[in-house]
Amino acid sequence: MNRKPYSAGAVKFSFWFIEFRKTVQLLAEGKSFSEIKLLNEQENIYSASTKARAQMIYSTVTARIKMLDPSFYPVFLSSDIATQKMFALVAALAHDTLFFDFVYEVVREKMILGVDELTDADIRVFFKNKQAQSEKVAAFQDYTLHRLGAAYKTQLYEAGMLDGNKGSSRKILRPILDIALEHWLQDNGYASMVNALTGVR
C-alpha cells in the first residue's frame, strides 16, 4: 500500500458514498475519468450545491478510486450496501494516510483489546503522538485537529463502524468483512486494511 504524505484535507471531505458508487458504476460501464469529469461539469451528476463543490467531490472521489486497482469494480457492484461502504472506506483510507493511521493505531487497537468505545480523549492522544512524530502534523492548529477528529468520526459512522451517538464517546461497531472483499484486499496488497478494519494483529 502506497503511503502518501500526511494531510489535513479530510476537514473538507465527506464520505461521499453515493457519489463513489455512481462513479464506479460509470467506470464499469466504460466511461473514462475525463468523460465523467465532463458529465459532472455539464449535468451536475452528484447534485452538488455549487460548481466548486461538484469539482471537489469529483476530484476527491476519483482520487480515492484511483488508489485501488480497477479489478475492484465488479466485486464492488456485486456486493451488498454494507460491503460497498467498506470498499468506499478502504479507498478513503488509502487516499488519506493520516486517517488510515488513526484507524490502524486507535480503532484497531481498541478492537484487539476488546474495547468498543472511542472517546475524544483517544483522538487527542493520537494527534499528540503524531505531532511528536511529524513536523507536518505538529504545524496543524488545534482547530484543524479538532475538525479532523470530527471528520474521521463522521466518515467511520457513515461507513458503519461507529454508532450515531453525538457525545464524547462513540461505540465501535466491528464490521464482518464479506469474503469477496477480504480476498480482494489480500490479493491486491491491502492485508493491512483487513487488520485495520477487523481488529487483528
Whole-Å CA distances, 150 to 21, 91, 175 = 24, 19, 21
Q: pLDDT 10s digit of each residue in the chain, 201 long? A: 789 999 999 999 999 999 999 999 999 999 999 999 999 999 999 999 999 999 999 999 999 999 999 999 999 999 999 999 999 999 999 999 999 999 999 999 999 999 999 999 999 999 999 999 999 999 999 999 999 999 999 999 999 999 998 888 999 999 999 999 999 999 999 999 999 999 998
Neighbours of 192 (CB within 10 A): 15
Give dist(CA 162, CA 171) in Å, integer. 6
Q: What's the confidence (pLDDT) of residue 1?
A: 78
Whole-Å CA distances, 170 to 3, 20, 104, 155, 163 = 28, 25, 17, 13, 6
Scanning the chain, the segments in alpha helix (DSSP H) are 17-28, 33-43, 51-66, 72-77, 81-95, 97-102, 108-113, 120-133, 135-138, 142-159, 179-187, 191-198
- Among residues 10, 7, 2, the alpha carbon closest in space to that of 140 is found at 7
Is the pTM for the entire model greater than 0.95? yes
**Residue 117, SS3 per DSSP:** strand
Structure-block grid coordinates of residue 165: 451517538
Long-range contacts of 127-135 (CB under 8 A, 24+ apart): 130/6, 130/98, 130/101, 134/6
* Amino acid occupying residue 137: V
CB 103 within 8 A of CB 151: no
- Among residues 173, 175, 158, the alpha carbon closest in space to that of 17 is found at 158
**Residue 158, SS3 per DSSP:** helix
- Among residues 187, 194, 186, 183, the alpha carbon closest in space to that of 111 is found at 194
